Amino acid sequence: MIRACREAGLATVAVFSDADREALHVRMADEAHPIGPAEPAASYLSIDRLVHVAKATGADAIHPGYGFLSENPQFAEACLAAGLTFIGPPASAMRAMSDKTAARRVATGLKVPAARLAREVGYPVMIKAAMGGGGKGMRLVREERELGSALRLARAEAVAAFGNGAVYIERYLAEPRHIEIQILADAHGTVVHLGERECSIQRRHQKLIEEAPSPLVDEAMRTRMGEAACRLAAAVGYVNAGTVEFLVDGDRNFYFLEMNTRLQVEHPVTEMVTGIDIVREQLRIAAGERLGFGQADVCLRGAAIECRINAEDPFADFLPSPGTITRLSAPGGPWVRNDSGADEGSAVPRFYDTLVAKLICWGADREAAIGRMARALDEYRVVGVRSTIPVLRRVLADPDFTAGRLSTGLLDRILPGLRPASGRHRTIALIAAALTAHARAGRLQPGPASPPAWRLGARPGWRGGRA
């Protein structure tokens, strides 16, 4: 987002919590201002503090990012009331579509296929946060006795992540495919779609690998899904970037799932195959400009895959692995893109999402994209925290994945065969034994209780303001 602003000649202001004081976005922005403690409720979810910083710095607009308040209509309204441009859809469209239950009613009214989502369909069911996304506030309930506790947990997690505890219940489909349509809409009535992304490879209901185009979708299916997504957007007066998500069954029937009224984490794969900078288009639309292209101008070229590098331990049920990244070496080469919020010395806080980087690779076809991604993952080095890189390598090598036989249950079938790299524990044991031997020989002297803290140095154009 900062890079897109710079290319457009726009100055940027970053906000940060105490946990993100040394984060990469803080150093990249022209200005950076503290906004509160690490807990999201007192910092990134505080509308008043965000608006205060924007007004104090003379900002014209606010980009809400991927999470937190990005789908909160009250935030959009607060920006408008303060004379700020919200780089996203109007609050009315957000209310119609970001509330998942309201969105289902809109889809049903437009005759867009939607699954019957009522308790009477029987178990298992899925509880989901009405204002959420990214797997937060979700619980699978296999039988009725689990329902009460699952509701309480889902509501508590939804409040912590989105500031809203509303949830809804839908019928759980065991192994559908998760396919979504990227749309762009300007304020002059033009709505276009940029094709689909397949996001079926997930853990804990959170996406891990995304690709465009989907190996399942042909041109006719793409047209039908794209038209359905554009009808939904137009019906609620949608403006800016958004994503309409569908579940697809074994017979290639697609059903409306939800609309994400924000920029998606996986938007780069669409950028790679269309050549369209979605963030730059968001800025243009927010400035009142018309889309400079129509549906007939959108062309998909080649294939792109995104792998999410998360600070999680895939050998311990993907438990978060917060800590300090002591070494980070990203891959390069033609058609390899690394979108990262971290570098060497960066801390991965325990308070937020575990995403460290998004690795995106393009190829002339899907096979070439997979091969390039496999090579890039082999080059990637993240030391100091556990990462999802081993499981990403394993998925890319799986015959079902390479053949395009995807589903939301594929990762669960792959994981039992995944093991830590050979010799990993033995190497750690040998190093520990060597250190013990040196200590006994008196060759090691006690060090400080903790390493010196690394502080952000001043640089031209950066000033730490107060909120």
The set of catalytic residues is: 262
CA proximity to 298, closest of 181, 216, 198: 181
What backbone torsions phi and psi does residue 380 show, to the nearest 5 degrees?
-70, 130
Q: How far is CA 346 from its chain centroid? A: 19
H-type alpha helices, 353-416: 366-379, 389-397, 399-402, 410-414
* Beta strands in 119-236, from DSSP E residues, in sequence order: 125-129, 139-141, 167-171, 177-185, 191-203, 206-212
Q: How many whole angstroms separate alpha carbon 157 and alpha carbon 170?
A: 18
Structure tokens, 348: 């991965």
Distance between terminal CA atoms of the chain?
22
Q: Are strands 177-185 and 240-248 parallel, antiparallel or unpaired?
A: antiparallel
CA proximity to 137, closest of 99, 115, 166, 116: 166
Query: What single DSSP character describes residue 421?
Result: P
E strand or H helix that includes residue 271: helix 267-274
Per the CB < 8 A criterion, the answer to whether 85 and 286 are in contact is: yes
CA proximity to 392, closest of 384, 181, 327, 379: 379
Q: How many whole angstroms separate alpha carbon 146 and alpha carbon 139?
A: 10
